[in-house]
Amino acid sequence: MVAAQNVITDRKSVLSMAITVTVSAQKPPAPHGYISISRKKLLQNLEISAGARLNAWVDSMRASSPTHIKSTPSLAYDQGSWNLQHPSALEMFEQIIDASKGKQIVMFLDYDGTLSPIVEDPDRAFMSKKMRKTVRKVAKCFPTAIVSGRCRDKVYKFVKLAELYYAGSHGMDIKAPEKRSNSNRDSEPVRFQPASEFLPMIDEVYKQLVDTTKSTPGAKVENNKFCVSVHFRCVEEKKWSELAQQVRSVLKEYPKLRLTQGRKVLEIRPTIKWDKGKALEFLLESLGYANCNDFFPVYIGDDRTDEDAFKILRDRGQGFGILVSKFPRKQVHHILYKNPMR
Ligand SMILES: [Mg+2]
């Protein structure tokens, strides 16, 4: 089965180390037997260290949001060999169908960059009528969920299909369709919001980020209810470092929030162990597939946050993850490559 192949296990994301640098305001006495270092020198060292971290952060922004193949040195490797390791989903369509025979296909679809193009204004990331028609057809055949970093209400307004499951805010806001064709009428409606206690903090951080980033032309902060997105689709690349610094200055006051990166977006969300992969597992369980093998999940996404779902499929040895990308990605966990739906 192809799903077992082609796994790149580079988990050393530079992001996880990027955020907090604290310097004590008072100089503590040097204990006997220890070498004292001047505060000036210490600060110089910390500045160099913080600067290196900031550079690593900006490099990571470039890697998440490649504008062309050679936009970062890490991507400038042999695209041919990458394509061999990550074959086109369209070219492998027959093998995918063969692998799913006798099993219930369950579809999971990211929204931005997967069903809709990445456009300059994230509020205008509309999906085409043709795409909506395709998704409607898919949902008639298979249970289908939209899994997005956006606020659930907003992604619903884009997709406008009541028959789907929706997992907004990176899976932190899950809702089943009102009328589930295969559900028990007496069963509780599926609603799940594992990060509700963070709502006030997210609101606060949203306001601070709006205020702090307003001096960076093109930066746009979006409140996604359980997480916040800082879009840099319209920020000149030479300003990315400045934006990263601004976001970091806000986040260092919030150790209970973490930062991840996507295509032209910085995502701020609670540190709870919940992501698109967990949402996928929750939805499979809600659909009654927790302890059986006769289902075949397919997850289609374009971003780093989708890798959490790809990883779950790989670890479970079930189904397929399909990456939507024009460019090689060094940190992708899973397999298939190229845009199957645009
Ligand atoms: Mg996406």
Here the CATH number for the domain that contains residue 259 is 3.40.50.1000
Question: Which parts of 193-256 are beta strand (E)?
Answer: 220-223, 228-231
| pLDDT at residue 191 in the model | 87
- Backbone dihedral angles phi then psi of residue 110, each to the nearest 5 degrees: -70, 165
Q: Which residue numbers are catalytic?
A: 110
pTM for the complete prediction?
A: 0.76
- Cα–ligand 1 centroid distance for 110 (angstroms): 5
Look up residue 336 and give its DSSP letter.
B
- Cα–ligand 1 centroid distance for 189 (angstroms): 27
| pLDDT at residue 5 in the model | 29
258 with 68: CB under 8 angstroms?
A: no
What is the mean pLDDT, run by run of 10 residues, along the chain of 342 residues?
A: 30 23 31 44 52 74 65 56 80 91 96 93 94 97 96 97 96 88 55 94 98 97 96 94 95 93 91 95 91 91 92 92 81 41 34
**Across the strands, what pairs with 191?**
175
| pLDDT at residue 91 in the model | 87
17 with 54: CB under 8 angstroms?
A: no
pLDDT tens track for 103-144: 999 999 999 999 999 898 999 999 999 999 999 999 999 999
| pLDDT at residue 180 in the model | 60
Maximum distance among all alpha carbons in the chain? 74
pLDDT tens track for 57-95: 787 777 777 665 454 445 555 677 777 777 888 888 899
- Cα–ligand 1 centroid distance for 38 (angstroms): 47
Domain tally, the chain: 1
Residue 59 Cα to chain centre, angstroms: 17
Q: Residue 310: name the closest of 2, 1, 7 by CA.
A: 7
Range of the domain at 234: 1-26+34-342
| 285-289-292 Cα angle (round to 5) | 135
In terms of C-beta distances under 8 Å and separation of at least 24 residues, what long-range contacts does 126-129 make, across chains too?
126/158, 127/158, 127/159
- Cα–ligand 1 centroid distance for 324 (angstroms): 9
262 with 305: CB under 8 angstroms?
A: yes
